[in-house]
Homo-oligomer: A and B are copies of this chain.
Amino acid sequence: MSAPRAGDRIPVAVLGATGAVGQAFVRLLAAHPWFRLAEVSASERSAGKSYRDAARWLSGALPDDVAAMTVLATDPSAVRSTLVFSALEADAAAIAEPAFARAGRFVLSNASCFRMEQDVPLIIPEVNPEQLGLLVRQRENREWKGAIVTNPNCAAIVIAMALAPLDRAFGLRKLFVSTMQAVSGAGYPGVPSLDILGNVVPFINKEEGKIESETVKLLSRVTAAGRLEMSPATVSAHANRVPVEHGHTAVMSAAFETRPTPDEALAVLESWRGDVSELALPSSPARPLVITREQDRPQPRRDADAGGGMAVTVGRVRADPLFDIRLVAMGHNIIRGAAGASILNAELLVARGILRAM
């Protein structure tokens, strides 16, 4: 299909709109060419308030029209949009998202609770758009009129985007990854300043497991029969919190089936444009991967906004004494890693005609 015409933008809702990720949805949708923010929901406690009163706005100036919106209950009887972005916490999402899907809504979810289900697409449009094929099985299994489509954990998406072209070319088999993750990844109020100012916390609850399992699913294929064929890669993750506002950094050592040299890896990375470049999705940058040759980049404060926050920057591609390739990837955890990822997935659904067809 072609993009919605101006004046004809698709009305959308954001569930859990008052938190850090919810606010990012609000910001990104304010200027979206295809979607128009029509509804916001939050917890019972906030329902009925104006958005201005319900949200502690974290960045820049809150647009007046959003400020005046009434916060709705997170319930399909209150929220009427067909296209629904979920910035809910996992616990709330586990209940609300199926309710919305049952009611015929398309839920683009940033929550972790359904990502690893066998019939739930875990999608990065540039990497694995074919996981939309799981929706057929989802509909059969769940008897939902709508659907749930998920985007990955904010660190896993950075890792998978950097590795996807290398996996396609050389076959990823083993991965060591150590992350240095920004505090915005923990939401608001999130990480207390006394825990992180001038400090490193070498632990993020459940994060290593998510990185290990989601990276594998993201690199997995879908068979003609609509089943996941899991990648043979094994991942060992070390997740760390650092005093950075936005931008997750991942340092990696990777072993591949066909043992590429650093130059071969670089050539593949530099030529990659992703699987959906012909769709010209508005949130997918011309270059989803920015490859840097500066010896000390990528860096979160200097590179997180590349491609409007939707590009992952990759650098320091070099040989590894144990495996084949060492490299560093960094991406904006709130934009590419959360709200922007969900929005991009919705663009894919629209462009593929799935949103209206189902």
Contact = CB atoms under 8 A, between A and B. Distances in A.
Interface of A: 20, 58-61, 174, 176, 178, 180, 183-184, 188-203, 212, 234-236, 238, 240, 242-245, 247, 249, 251, 253, 290, 295-303, 305-306, 315-316, 320-323, 326, 328, 330
A190 B20 CA distance: 18
A238 B190 contact: no
A270 to B, nearest CB: 15
7 contacts: A60-B305, A178-B238, A189-B194, A200-B242, A202-B297, A203-B295, A236-B253
A328 B238 CA distance: 9
B295 A251 contact: no
B194 A184 contact: yes
Contacts of A303: 60
B236 A296 contact: no
Given A20-B194, A60-B305, A244 B200 contact: yes
A330 B20 CA distance: 24
A321 B215 CA distance: 14
A193 B200 contact: no
A321 B20 contact: no
A244 B200 CA distance: 7
Contacts of A330: 202
A45 to B, nearest CB: 19
User: Which of A200, A297, A320, A326 has the largest count of B CB atoms less than 10 A from its CB?
Assistant: A200
